[in-house]
């Protein structure tokens, strides 16, 4: 399994991402031919440069077109010219993500957004070019480091705004970030939308074998001496390997709620598809009061909504929010035949290639009740049928 890890120590933009892919071996001629299918007037160029003694690739889009103010629907019509349905859908997802962020920032509907920077030809080339490059290099998954959050201000069509630009800041919600002491735009809205849509997990380099390193350069130089580069690590990992995914942990103590309310709380959380898991731990609180520690796991994009839901539906006055990662196994559901009928099982593949199987309790309990047999007998027979060690 071929993966790409983006070391975004100086942020990222669409052209920096393409530059890194070109440095890894993406052919500019093939990229140009594919972009031509959009019917836009653009000449793609690449050049070598050096930052801090590091040789890198820099990508440029030359165009004579005076870009119109495009809405999302205009860009979607343009994307329909792409010959590949899968890539077309991915590009649509990136632009839709960006449009939603812009709409929320400006307080209007997505259909009312007039794109400026992202309606320009170079941004369309950046989005389509990144997707095309990932496909050409046979990259199956993208991971990235935490993202730097600069200070200062930047001038855009709407005026002077704080960094990161409002749409960029919105897109970075749910992505691990850290503050840096530099007043320079390090992450563009296009770069943030690509990260939000394409990256499978953020954090340290996952277990893998690096194959090649590519450096993509930005056009501005940083005054603090840090090279304005993104480092792309092309690597291989076993196809059946476990994978890292970003996870948000919500946590709060409860010591003054009617215990009967926990029945409703647990049922509501169990029925909520946004909740990946939850559990309660008995604790001893200050003033020697017995209490409970409620822990909930969710996708980063849903953390704020669920935290506010907990504040409304429990007596807690505050929710702690942790951005973490979890290592997960490939898993799926299978229907296993048993002497008493089909039983659903959760099956997972371990890093060594073996499998683990767990029958669904509800199905086993129903069969045990119907046939008046011990529950452990149903479990044993199901595990035997599943051929799990």
Q: DSSP labels for 48-92?
A: EEEETTEEEEEEEEE-------B-HHHHHHHHTT-S-HHHHHHHH
What is the tens place of the pLDDT at every residue in 16-33? 999 999 999 999 999 999
**Quick check: 68 pLDDT over 80?**
no
Among residues 179, 198, 244, 210, the alpha carbon closest in space to that of 11 is found at 179
- How high is the pLDDT of residue 330? 80
Q: pLDDT band for position 81 (50/70/90)?
A: very high
> How big is the chain, counted in residues?
389
83 burial level (CB within 10 Å; 0-12, 13-18, 19+): exposed
Sketch the domain layout of the chain as residue ranges. 2-241, 244-327, 331-386
Reported as type and span, the H/E element at residue 32 is helix 28-36
DSSP 214-255: EEEE-SSPPTTS---EEEEEEEE--TT--EEEEEEEEEEEES
**Quick check: 118 pLDDT over 50?**
no
Residue pair 245/200 in contact by the 8 Å Cβ criterion: yes
Q: CATH fold of 331-386, please?
A: Ubiquitin-like (UB roll) (3.10.20)
Pairing of strands 229-236, 177-179: unpaired
Three-state DSSP class for 338? strand
Q: pLDDT band for position 389 (50/70/90)?
A: very low
Q: Share the mean pLDDT of the chain.
A: 89
Q: What is the mean pLDDT of residues 81-107?
A: 90
d(CA 281, CA 266): 13
Up-side HSE of residue 164: CA atoms within 13 Å toward CB?
A: 25
d(CA 56, CA 49): 5
What is the tens place of the pLDDT at every residue in 155-175? 877 789 999 999 999 999 988
> 244-327 belongs to which homologous superfamily?
Transcriptional regulatory protein pf0864 domain like (3.30.70.1380)
Token representation of residue 48: 């070598």
Q: Which residues lie closer than 8 Å to 335 by C-beta, 6 or more apart?
A: 342, 343, 344, 345
Q: Does this model's pTM top 0.85?
A: no
Q: What is the mean pLDDT of residues 297-320?
A: 93
d(CA 30, CA 26): 8
């Amino acid at each position: 399994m071929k993966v790409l890890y983006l070391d975004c120590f100086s942020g990222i933009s669409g052209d920096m991402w393409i530059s890194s892919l070109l440095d890894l071996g993406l052919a500019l001629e093939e990229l140009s031919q594919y972009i031509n299918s959009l019917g836009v007037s653009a000449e793609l160029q690449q050049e070598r440069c050096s930052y801090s003694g590091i040789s890198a690739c820099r990508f440029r889009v030359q165009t004579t077109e005076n870009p119109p103010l495009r809405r999302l629907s205009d860009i979607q019509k343009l994307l329909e010219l792409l010959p590949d349905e899968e890539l077309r859908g991915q590009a649509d997802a990136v632009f839709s993500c960006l449009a939603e962020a812009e709409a929320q920032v400006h307080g209007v509907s997505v259909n009312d957004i007039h794109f400026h920077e992202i309606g320009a030809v170079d941004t369309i080339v950046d989005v389509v070019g990144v997707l095309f490059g990932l496909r050409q290099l046979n990259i199956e998954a993208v991971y990235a480091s935490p993202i730097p959050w600069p200070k200062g201000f930047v001038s855009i069509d709407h005026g002077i705004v704080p960094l990161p630009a409002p749409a960029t800041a919105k897109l970075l919600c749910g992505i691990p970030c850290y503050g840096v002491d530099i007043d320079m735009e390090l992450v563009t809205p296009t770069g943030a939308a690509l990260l939000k849509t394409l990256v499978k997990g953020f954090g340290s380099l996952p277990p893998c074998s690096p194959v090649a390193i590519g450096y993509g350069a930005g056009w501005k130089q940083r005054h603090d001496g840090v090279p304005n580069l993104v480092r792309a690590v092309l690597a291989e990992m076993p196809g059946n390997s476990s994978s890292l995914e970003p996870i948000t942990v919500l946590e709060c103590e409860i010591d003054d709620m009617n215990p009967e309310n926990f029945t409703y709380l647990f049922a509501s959380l169990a029925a909520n598809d946004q909740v990946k898991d939850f559990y309660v731990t008995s604790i001893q609180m200050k003033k020697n009061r017995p209490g409970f520690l409620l822990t909930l796991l969710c996708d980063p994009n849903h953390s704020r909504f669920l935290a506010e839901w907990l504040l409304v539906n429990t007596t807690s006055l505050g929710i702690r929010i942790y951005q973490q990662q979890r290592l997960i196994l490939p898993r799926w559901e299978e229907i296993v035949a048993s002497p008493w009928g089909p039983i659903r099982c959760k099956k997972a593949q371990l890093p060594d290639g073996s499998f683990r199987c767990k029958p669904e309790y509800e199905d086993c309990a129903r069969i045990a009740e119907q046939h008046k047999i011990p529950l452990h007998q149903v479990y044993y027979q199901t595990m035997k049928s599943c051929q799990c060690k």
